[in-house]
Structure 1
């Protein structure tokens, strides 16, 4: 069964959760009209990404906003992966929250590899992967810097992921990550990979866009420039089967390791 993946490249409305939720509703309406089966938003979309001196008290209304995202997902009858900062028992987290088409929360992935001094000072890193199923495909979640570590993407593939979605806040001058590294991650694991970046600027950071949806042989199925855009691509499980049948990196690696 084909899955039509939608990824929103854009930004929320700074310091205005209600206006950001209106944007979420608009984007989901457009995505559903385009036939999307899953919609992914960038890193920190609901809250903003780079918020100097971010504290738990600054996120007091986020759970209420996430409940609203769940209601919108249910109204539009489409699953959603939402980038946001949240507060957990351990502290502030950089998260991607997954909602089903009925609005049920399916899981929360916490970014495991934190980038730069600000993230390391602000967030508690996650410790485990998150996977869910939709339209017959097993979907894994990573966040931004996570995808730059081949071990984390390989972990998802070895756990059976057919698609890995990556809410992202990639900033200048790191365009090479989107242009060079991301397609390789899909090819070396023979998976689909969706990379959903932000646009605009935030407290001295300029986000570069360059979102993409990539296939299991590294081809780009959909891509964006530097302005807001809704990316769409049809993901064919048959393509995974054909690519893996010719030569399976995972199976060949396992045989190599086992001698």
Structure 2
């Protein structure tokens, strides 16, 4: 089965949802018109990342206004759309949450479980590692820093995921981590990686870009540079997942008893 996917690399304007959604819409339309059926936006794409003073004011329920905006785009272009926003959760708790929508509406969300640096002062942690079933297969959904936690990817793959999606605002100073981890998660799981990252700067935080789509054998099918907005597109041959898992049978040969059968 063939599937066109897109990773949207964009700079964001702090505290300006209207401007960010307008830019994101143009880029999503560009990807959809080129045939993308799965389109990923960066972490906190609607608000910018360094909005800690405005977290409560900018937070939204899910579903909410931004989720509905995503739903409308997905329905108009017959695609599936993923992006992370600040979620207003239960009892005043805030979460860094990735949302999945499709032509049929809101589908699922993932609350970031592994928080980077001062994010623990802003957000509560999620508690569930799930997969999302879409018409073309199951995806594992993660956020930014979680790309460095291979256990999450392995659990999602064991639950049936063939595509691992990372919506991110990953720092430029650690570009080497992004480069190695995105390819490692592909190889060790025999999975496709859609790694979507911010570019530009918020305050003193500089983001690394380098959005990419990686094949199960670590081939980079498409990527962007470190700077500038970009629509990164690639066609996936999903049959490559099974072929790669036969070539490198890590999933078959792992001794799950050593992990108390958690994987």
TM-score, scaled relative to structure 1: 0.93
Asked whether 1:237 is paired with 2:229, we answer no
Aligned to 2:115: 114
Report the Cα offset of residue 135 of structure 1: 4.2
Deviates more, 1:118-127 or 1:7-16: 7-16
Asked whether 1:20 is paired with 2:9, we answer no
Work out whether residues 8 and 28 of structure 2, in 8 Å CA contact, stay in contact via their aligned partners in 1.
no
Structure 2: gaps (5+ residues): none
Q: 2:194, 2:223 → 1: CA distance? A: 10
Q: 1:163, 1:107 → 2: CA distance? A: 16
Aligned to 2:161: 161
Aligned to 1:188: 188
SS at match of 2:42: coil
Aligned to 2:200: 200
Aligned to 2:96: 94
Q: 1:136, 1:33 → 2: CA distance? A: 19
C-alpha change, 1:252 and 1:171, in structure 2 (3 Å) is same
Q: 1:194, 1:216 → 2: CA distance? A: 11
CA distances 1:108-158 after superposition (whole Å, capped 9, x unpaired)? 111000000x20100001011242233432111000111101111111111
CA distances 1:69-128 after superposition (whole Å, capped 9, x unpaired)? 2112211221100121111005110011100123x1101111000000x20100001011
SS at match of 2:172: coil
Q: 1:189, 1:61 → 2: CA distance? A: 33
Report the Cα offset of residue 59 of structure 1: 2.3
Work out whether residues 195 and 212 of structure 2, in 8 Å CA contact, stay in contact via their aligned partners in 1.
yes
TM-score, scaled relative to structure 2: 0.91
* Residues matched between the structures, number: 256
Report the Cα offset of residue 238 of structure 1: 1.5
C-alpha change, 1:216 and 1:202, in structure 2 (3 Å) is same
SS at match of 1:41: strand
Aligned to 1:65: 66
